[in-house]
Structure 1
């Protein structure tokens, strides 16, 4: 059986949104998740504000998790001072079987994702676990750095990073957000992207090592 990655997450402060905004956000999030994968049943929202997605590659699960952090941050209601966020646990391991959808599937990756999600700390936005404890120690050290950066991102910085991870260049992002290219660059600089990006790439490298 090949190694895959499962992400389990929930939306921080979701219940504080008005019903109409909750409905809209969930519909948009479901559409986003299913567009990221080939098999649509491998992405599901459950319990109203929780979601689970199965990815073939651990590196993609990490990139998409950072995008999800940005996705919810950029949907914050700044006018009413309501910050949205997400907590995500990535489990990397074998998948025993696929059920009618991701929620009915099972295997090591699901166990590592779900069980570690349940014990995440309040200041933890991203957690990653494999079946290798030595590797997990190194991952945790890097994630301490990653989580500190994530906690400080603003909705404006998040919307730029989200599009950057979609593969857009700064000029394309500027046009999409009706900003100048220097403004996009300024947001990336203030978000610490120059320091954050290598850490994210090293995480992807580390989890894929045998």
Structure 2
């Protein structure tokens, strides 16, 4: 089993040019970061969409949350940058050197799932056991929490995930703020529950892909 993450910028055609260029730059840098961290294959296509292949599917949800948070917390934009994201869990029948020349159920599930995902939200799709139906439901709850975050909270969450759940002191140092401020933000964003979800997702999919 692999995971395919497909994303589409929200209202990209209506963005000011500076915001659009910033959003694409953020996506390009994040694709490179995922390649280094998770050995993914990815590309940006149609100018405002991206697709990432995770041969280790357990990393896909962490990446989706990080990317959404990273875009949303971008500063000096006319409107917060949004992205719609869909993860497909399935097979890869044709293994190309980039997503656009690869095929399999994971790609189909991710692409079709994106078409049915509300703008700015994250969704999960699969063709596996009933357990994954429960994981899909849990993902909907997670998405509801993420969608209510402010830009500052999104920034805190991005660093919390990308630093692999650091202590409050470590996170405060990275964000150049106080430990008390970090503790307040983490409580407001439901960080403990987000961490529990991500850890559970990663542990379950690690076992499934062994």
Shorter-chain TM range is 0.7 to 0.9
Match of 2:148 in 1: 152
Residue aligned with 2:198, SS: helix
More displaced, 108-117 or 167-176?
A: 167-176
Residues in 1 aligned to 2:40 and 2:126: alpha-carbon distance in whole angstroms: 24
Residue aligned with 1:37, SS: helix
Residues in 1 aligned to 2:52 and 2:117: alpha-carbon distance in whole angstroms: 18
Match of 1:89 in 2: 86
Residues in 1 aligned to 2:118 and 2:9: alpha-carbon distance in whole angstroms: 14
Match of 2:138 in 1: 142
Provide closer, same or farther for how the CA distance between residues 159 and 132 of structure 1 changes in structure 2, counting only shifts above 3 A: same
Correspondences of 1:103-182 after superposition (within 5 Å): 103-122=100-119, 125-132=121-128, 134-167=130-163, 169=166, 170-182=168-180
More displaced, 200-209 or 68-77?
A: 200-209
Q: Which runs of 5+ in 1 are unaligned?
A: none
Number of equivalent positions: 205
RMSD: 2.4
For the Cα contact (< 8 Å) 2:30–2:67, is it kept in 1? no
Match of 1:14 in 2: 12
Residue 35 (structure 1) shift: 2.0
Residues in 2 aligned to 1:165 and 1:92: alpha-carbon distance in whole angstroms: 21
Q: Which runs of 5+ in 2 are unaligned?
A: none
Provide closer, same or farther for how the CA distance between residues 138 and 199 of structure 1 changes in structure 2, counting only shifts above 3 A: same
Residues in 2 aligned to 1:43 and 1:24: alpha-carbon distance in whole angstroms: 19
Residue 49 (structure 1) shift: 1.4
For the Cα contact (< 8 Å) 1:11–1:86, is it kept in 2? yes
More displaced, 103-112 or 193-202?
A: 193-202
For the Cα contact (< 8 Å) 1:128–1:136, is it kept in 2? no
Match of 1:43 in 2: 42
Report whether the alignment pairs 1:24 with 2:22.
yes
Report whether the alignment pairs 1:185 with 2:183.
yes
TM-score, normalised relative to structure 1 = 0.86
More displaced, 98-107 or 152-161?
A: 98-107
